[in-house]
Amino acid sequence: ALAAAARHLQADVVFAGLAGDTNGFGLVPPALAHHWNAHILSGVEDASWDTSSGEVIVVTRAGGLRLRLAYRPPVVLTVAPPKIGETEIEMTAEVAPIETLDLARLGLNPGQLDFGYDQLSCTGPATGKSETLGSIEDLVACWLAPVKPR
């Protein structure tokens, strides 16, 4: 349902937490990326939009290095809680209206949704077949392969 909502809203980027506040396992962001056919990057520290290239520029850390990466939408970015405590954000006086989307408006039939714990709340079969990879290099190549267009 989240992927259907992202498509309906024509979102380019969805931000999510690394894991839920209580007993979270961090399964929602990868499930969303899978069903939305989007890139996913975890542990994002900073993000900005490059209007000239139409890409989101993100900063993350890996292997002790600070990395600056560019992604074409759609992309799911997960962010960790701040290490220095909560940050106070200045609010504007303008309040945006909240749009409520029901399943029918998203083209989803509630009877077809599977809310099974191990099914990641999928609405159908996986889009790709499982495969056995022979090495870590093959796995990295698979992860870095381009995502098919929406």
Q: What is the pLDDT of residue 128?
A: 56
Domain boundaries of the chain, sorted by first residue: 2-81+100-144
How many CB atoms lie under 10 A from the CB of residue 73? Answer: 16
Topology of the domain comprising 2-81+100-144: Rossmann fold (3.40.50)
Q: What is the pLDDT of residues 68-117, one digit of tens each?
A: 999 999 999 998 777 776 667 777 778 778 888 777 777 777 666 655 44
Rounded average pLDDT over 24-47: 86
Give the lowest-confidence range in 39-43, 70-74, 75-79, 120-124: 120-124
For residue 39, what is the enclosing H or E element?
strand 39-41
pLDDT at position 119: 44
Say what the pLDDT of residue 57 is: 94
Check: pTM over 0.75? Answer yes or no.
no
